Chain A
Amino acid sequence: MSMFKKGEKKEMPAIASGSLSDIVFMLLFFFMVTTQMRETENKVVVKIPQASESVKLERKDLASYINIGTPIRSLQAQYGTDARIQLNDSFKTVDDIRDFVAAERDSKSENDRAFMQICIRADQDVRMGIITDVKQELRRCSALKIMYSARKGE
């Protein structure tokens, strides 16, 4: 009589879980596409200094990075231990910053160019001399919006 009587032939069909994996894979692909792996390989060691007042980068897609630090251990035989500038994937000098800024500016869309920000990621033990040079060069290229990369925390 009862609908839920046990021992009857009719059973609740198991929920098909085969498509569950497809859904999860879709999620996976979504994350793989949207998040970015570090696109450049670090060739310099950068230990970012700490600053309690540091704020978030407003537009991550508009930031370009200039790394400054000592070359990593495996490259020290070739390049020495002096602080170097890394742009994209290779060591560069201050003079190359002009081209770098121009290239970065071209890669941004027309409307966003004014908001382009240069993020200086420098090692905390780097001397200011090299950073002053970089800053002067940036001023010459009129890339005036900069950010000193710093870790949050006391």
Chain B
Amino acid sequence: MAKKTPAINSSSTADIAFLLLCYFLMTTTMGTQTGLSRRLPPMPDPNQKVEDQKVNRRNIIIVKINSADRILAGSEPIDVSQLKDKIKIFLTNPTDDPNLPVMEPTEIAGLGTRNVSKGVISLQNDRGTSYQAYIAVQNELVKAVNELRDEASMREFGKKFLALDEDGQKTIKDLVPQQISEAEPKDVGKRRR
């Protein structure tokens, strides 16, 4: 009679498979992409007559970044680190300064009448501005708005903005709108190379 072949010990195949599994878990990208979300303004219709959107002068702050990554906010040169505070003052207008945006009483659903800033931040950049500086400025603007939203939601709901439910977040968004306009390039009509 032929000798029986002994069974191959298969208990270690599980370990091998586990190793493979770990390898795939490590290398594949479950990783999430992060970034700053923006909405571009739609292209103006060429047939449409250009209507100058009347934005009151006091309601707009122009943030410019030049090709050497220097920043001009309003009319004075400023450092990135100071930009956030400047924007916060601009958007809240705590001293009722006639040069800062109007705080217009608006009916907010669920809260009643609150003062909502009409301020718009206009961001302009040069073709030579570095992307890093641009993102840094964008980040400061978002941070200013986020901090204001946090403050507002602490005031209204006693919670941080991110801890609110969807309706609450929407209310706060109405209360503190994020009005960042990425300005048209100066010669938008022509194609440039």
* Interface set of A (CB-CB < 8 Å, partner B): 17-18, 20-21, 24-25, 27-28, 31-32, 35-38, 49-57, 60, 63, 117, 119, 122-129, 131-133, 135-136, 138-140, 142, 144-152
Contact = CB atoms under 8 A, between A and B. Distances in A.
B13 interface: yes
A15 to B, nearest CB: 10
Given A24-B17, A138-B40, A128 B28 contact: no
Contact of A133 (B10, B16, B42, B192): B192
Interface string B20-43: 110011011110111111111111
Interface in B125-174: 125-132, 134-136, 138-139, 142-143, 146
A142 B43 contact: yes
Given A49-B136, A119-B35, 7 more contacts: A20-B11, A49-B131, A49-B132, A53-B139, A56-B33, A56-B34, A144-B40
B132 A124 contact: yes
Given A51-B139, A129-B127, A147 B38 contact: yes
A128 B126 contact: yes
Interface residues of B, number: 48
Contacts of A28: 17, 20-21, 24
B37 A139 contact: no
Contacts of A124: 130-132, 135
Contacts of B27: 37
Nearest to B184: A136
Given A125-B132, A128-B126, A136 B17 contact: no
